[in-house]
Amino acid sequence: MTAAFTFPGQGSQAVGMGKALADAFPAARAIFDEVDSALGEKLTGVIWDGPAETLQLTENAQPALMAVSLATLRVLEAEAGVSLGRDVAYVAGHSLGEYSALPAAGSLTVSDAARLLRTRGLAMQKAVPVGVGAMAALLGLDYEAAVEVAAAAAEGQVCEAANDNGGGQVVVSGDKAAVERATEIAKTRGAKRAMMLPVSAPFHCRLMQPAADIMAAALAKVTIKPPVVPLVSNVVARALTDPDEIRRRLVEQVTGTVRWRESVGYMAEQGVTRFFEIGAGKVLSGLVRRIADGAVGIAVGGPNDIAGVKDALTAARAV
């Protein structure tokens, strides 16, 4: 098997995402109905009709993106004959995308994933008062250089590498003043660009510890089964199958670095050449091409993408 299914993170959301799938395929509509039922509200109304500022709220964007990813997967299973156990070597998700990867692989129920993401989004938003924390993207520096920039900028505050996305793109997170210093220092150390990001909280750094504590309690209450294919974890950039370790790493993920470059590199080293991005957007597909030489990133998010996946996987099975 030379394929992996990857699942996007926050920032890929857009009003109207997934509606064409739900209109065309009952399997997709069933996922949206299940998420609405789990949350006790009509999240699909926000996903499809907006307004955008409501969808972008962390507590809405996270379960919404999971719903679109799982709806896409269910259509692939129903219409293209996709079977994860047969066709896919690994699943992986960028940050909240791990909560899409796990129900995709049978580790979590869709309902539990939706409720966990609502809890996660609220907890991450409340962990740090608005305006206290910030995040910035440093472009054109490798990970080691970005870590050095963050350390130099901290000056007793928190400034840490939050996302190692690959292709010379590293995001730093922490106290606002420290992150602002990081953007200036990065420019003096060769960064092509260094820009503050329009986010409402400093994700994936030590300031998120209150949210990690809440998620530890929430995750302790749900059943996690062994995945039908291994999950490549954000925080360790290797494959996991043990439910207890998956649970522990999901807690660590709240404050830990998203090691996406290493995760994709790990899968490529194991022979993966096709990375299918399941759900909204094309961010991860673009990153794949910068990380792994010869690998192909394929975004799958609409009705017109389904047949292409079927053909690609059929060809892969014949190899």
pLDDT of residue 119 exceeding 70, the answer is yes
pLDDT of residue 307 exceeding 90, the answer is no
pLDDT of residue 252 exceeding 60, the answer is yes
The verdict on whether 95 is a catalytic residue reads: yes
Residue-wise pLDDT for 136-153, tens only, equals 999 999 999 999 999 999
Residue 319: per-residue pLDDT:
59
CA distance 153 to 176: 11
Residue-wise pLDDT for 145-192, tens only, equals 999 999 999 999 999 999 999 989 999 999 999 999 999 999 999 999
Residue-wise pLDDT for 4-44, tens only, equals 999 999 989 999 999 999 999 999 999 999 999 999 999 99
pTM > 0.85: yes or no: yes
Residue-wise pLDDT for 191-208, tens only, equals 999 999 988 899 999 999
pLDDT of residue 246 exceeding 90, the answer is yes
CA distance 28 to 110: 12
Q: 286 near 106, Cβ under 8 Å?
A: no
Residue 228: per-residue pLDDT:
98
**Cβ-based neighbours of 296, under 8 Å, separated by 6 or more:** 273, 274, 275, 288, 289
Average pLDDT of every residue of the chain:
95
Q: Which of 2, 112, 119 has the alpha carbon at shortest distance from 58?
A: 119
pLDDT of residue 317 exceeding 80, the answer is no
Residue 33: per-residue pLDDT:
98
Peptide bond into 51 cis (omega under 30): yes
CA distance 4 to 290: 16
Class of residue 307 by CB neighbours under 10 A (exposed 0-12, middle 13-18, buried 19+): exposed
Residue of 204, 233, 263, 285 marked active site: 204
Residue 193: per-residue pLDDT:
96
Residue of 69, 95, 107, 285 marked active site: 95
The share of the chain scoring above pLDDT 90, in percent, equals 91
The verdict on whether 94 is a catalytic residue reads: no
CA distance 65 to 61: 6
pLDDT of residue 318 exceeding 70, the answer is no
The helix or strand, by DSSP H or E, that contains position 91, with its residue range, turns out to be strand 90-93
CA atoms within 13 A on the CB side of 133: 24
Residue-wise pLDDT for 271-291, tens only, equals 999 999 999 999 999 999 999
pLDDT of residue 304 exceeding 80, the answer is yes
